Amino acid sequence: EVARLLERLAAPCVGVAYLEEGLRLRQHGVRLPVLVLGGILGSQIPRFLEHDLTLTASSVDKLRAIEEHAAAAGRPATVHLKIDTGMERIGVHWYSAEALLEASLHCRHVNVEGIFTHFANADGRDLGHARLQLERFEEVLRFYERRSLPLPVRHAANSGAILQLRESHLDLVRPGVLFYGARPSAEVPAIIPVRQALRWLTRVVFFKVVRAGNPVSYGSEWAPSAETRVVTLPVGYGDGYTRAMSGKAEVIVRGKRYPVVGRICMDQVMVSIGGDSAYNGDEVILLGRQGAAAISIEEMAAWAGTIAHEILTSINTRVPRIYRGLIA
């Protein structure tokens, strides 16, 4: 649904991590150009070509393999060259990138559409390393100037760089977590107003009164000091509601925040509502807003001791998605 929205907004392309994600978009009728940003295996290249997906060429060997498969298939491959300027993940090092760029000039069946790098520290207060990476990338790009060649599409800026390193915006930007309404870290200023793009909700499935001293959930780590009402929710770490939030998380019931008590189970969590009332079927907000109360992605990440990215990618396929479309 996100890709369909981007298509309607005439975005130039959409980026995904893996071949399988690109194939899923094609299977659902998305015709927008799809750039697969992650590493590839040689055996996957024919599927890229068959489904018109843009590949990342991260080494001379990968580029040659793409060229060979494209020649054998009789159809051109579209690629973006990946330059490692300091992430040490995939891509050729900036100091040896000229060999990759030179090899790309001799590929008859490869269209080098773009060239990119990725920042390791654009989401922190100190942007020194990010600026160094950008300088390295710019030096690599001078290859084209020296040969009087047109530049491919250049991109480097992730969410952190979009917010605080404007000079890195180049031809394209790659909003990831920012696209879903969360900052990449608490250190990044909220200079672009964004709204959280999702709510995660569940419903009360059980209500009981727990006597003082009676422990709740595995390990018996929490017990009420006085009689309390406890509701059970059908969600747990099996859905991505991580166990690390046990004893820290809160939810919203009837517009009011309440603590999750006891250990978070695989499929269920318990919530103490004190002397208040709740009923089977009542809506419960795990992420999002209900009335004046709200729980943000960043707050949930703090409970889990992680980052907003992991919270969002951990909500798994057991949780149904309902797409609401654009809301003015």
Domains and CATH numbers, the chain: 2-180 (3.20.20.10), 200-314 (2.40.37.10)
> Under DSSP, is residue 260 helix (H, G, I), strand (E, B) or coil?
strand
Identify residue 156 by its one-letter amino acid code.
A
CB atoms near residue 315 (< 10 Å):
17
Pairwise CA distance, residues 256 & 266, whole Å: 25
Residue-level pLDDT, tens digit, the chain, 328 residues = 889 989 998 999 999 999 999 999 999 999 999 999 999 999 999 999 999 999 999 999 999 999 999 999 999 999 999 999 999 999 999 999 999 999 999 999 999 999 999 999 999 999 999 999 999 999 999 999 999 999 999 999 999 999 999 999 999 999 999 999 998 988 888 888 889 999 999 999 999 999 999 999 999 999 999 999 999 999 999 999 999 999 999 999 999 999 999 999 999 999 999 999 999 999 999 999 999 999 999 999 999 999 999 999 999 999 999 988 765 4
Token duo for residue 8: 């309607």
Pairwise CA distance, residues 68 & 50, whole Å: 15
Do 253 and 271 touch, CB atoms closer than 8 A? yes
**Cα–Cα–Cα angle for 153, 156, 69, rounded to 5 degrees:** 55
Pairwise CA distance, residues 284 & 250, whole Å: 10
> Under DSSP, is residue 71 helix (H, G, I), strand (E, B) or coil?
helix
> E-strand spans in 142-275?
153-157, 172-173, 200-203, 206-210, 228-233, 250-253, 256-261, 269-274
Pairwise CA distance, residues 221 & 214, whole Å: 10
> Under DSSP, is residue 205 helix (H, G, I), strand (E, B) or coil?
coil
Do 254 and 281 touch, CB atoms closer than 8 A? no
pTM of the model: 0.89
Token duo for residue 79: 């690629």
Pairwise CA distance, residues 101 & 144, whole Å: 9
Pairwise CA distance, residues 162 & 247, whole Å: 35
Do 176 and 188 touch, CB atoms closer than 8 A? no
Pairwise CA distance, residues 161 & 175, whole Å: 9
Token duo for residue 327: 């809301």
CB atoms near residue 190 (< 10 Å):
9
For tokens 């494209």, name the residue: 70
